[in-house]
Amino acid sequence: MKIFSVTTATKIWFGFMLLLAQGHVASAAEIKVLSVVPLKASLDELGPPFERATGHKLTIKYDGSSGLKRSFEAGEAFDVALIYPELIDELLKKGALAAGVRADVAIVMVGVAIKKGALMPEISTVEAFKRTLLNVKSISHSTEGASGVYFQGLIQRLGIAAELKPKLRPVEGGPLVVGPVAKGEVEIAVITIPFIYLDPGAELAGPLPTELQHPVIYTASMGTATKQPDAAKAFIKHLTTPAAAAVIKSKGLKPANQ
């Protein structure tokens, strides 16, 4: 079986995009993107060749789920949103996103963060994870992000919500969840795994047990108010190409179409 490297795949994609660009440079547009933070490393690599090939310019704002939700509620202008499906569905109902323009881009798992160098907790089974939650002194999680909403429901299902309530340290979004753990202010955090790798003061204790795992899918959609629908659709399509999947995988995320 022939295996293509990320570099080879990117070169193939880039050559294809150059051919497409010949008919589109004259209609170059600025594409404003509102994206979750874990996609930053992937977009940092995927954005520049897309801009060079198409002539379009990407302006990307990264934030946690709570911050992005506030941006949408405030009516901030955008062309493409890269967020989790539940928020996509909410924005579709409000008419902020275009129906039928939607593509799953990447999948991330939920894990447990600890301070770098701290004793690793046992979380490999449902019972072990439950014991760890009951034994630690404090737990950080997001209030409105996909992982935080899931975690709050999970401890209800496990029947330990009342016992954990005094230990919970909810914060607004992903970028703020791991920080207190890295500083030693909170013992563990439950958050999507890419956020754990972003903080050098923290490390991954492990993913949630398979039976409790909740994959979070980052999805792209187009704003109904965009003035650049063709450019927005081109960028969304680009994020689902095989070359884009290779880059996403190289950044520690799972491509949604694989």
Domain of 77, CATH number, reads 3.40.190.10
Same domain for 223 and 102? Answer: yes
Q: Is residue 1 part of a domain?
A: no
Q: Is residue 131 part of a domain?
A: yes
| CA pair distance 163, 186, nearest whole angstrom | 17
User: Is the Cβ–Cβ distance between 140 and 188 less than 8 Å?
Assistant: yes
Q: Is residue 34 part of a domain?
A: yes
Same domain for 249 and 197? Answer: no
Same domain for 54 and 145? Answer: no
Same domain for 164 and 250? Answer: no
User: Is the Cβ–Cβ distance between 218 and 86 less than 8 Å?
Assistant: no
Residues 6+ apart with CB under 8 A from 245: 255, 257, 258
Of the pLDDT bands very low, low, confident and very high (cuts 50, 70, 90), residue 228 is very high
pLDDT average, residue stretch 176-194: 95
Q: How many domains is the chain partitioned into structurally?
A: 2
Same domain for 140 and 120? Answer: yes
Instruction: Please state the pTM of the whole predicted model.
Output: 0.76
| Percent share of the chain, pLDDT over 90 | 74
pLDDT higher than threshold 80 for residue 19: no
pLDDT of 10 reads: 53
Same domain for 129 and 88? Answer: no
pLDDT average, residue stretch 219-239: 96
| CA pair distance 71, 32, nearest whole angstrom | 13
pLDDT higher than threshold 90 for residue 81: yes
What are the structure tokens assigned to 117, written together? 């160098």
Q: Higher model confidence: residue 85 or residue 106?
A: 106
pLDDT average, residue stretch 66-87: 92
Same domain for 171 and 204? Answer: yes
Same domain for 54 and 119? Answer: no
Supply the range of the domain harboring residue 153: 110-212
pLDDT higher than threshold 90 for residue 25: no
Same domain for 101 and 115? Answer: no
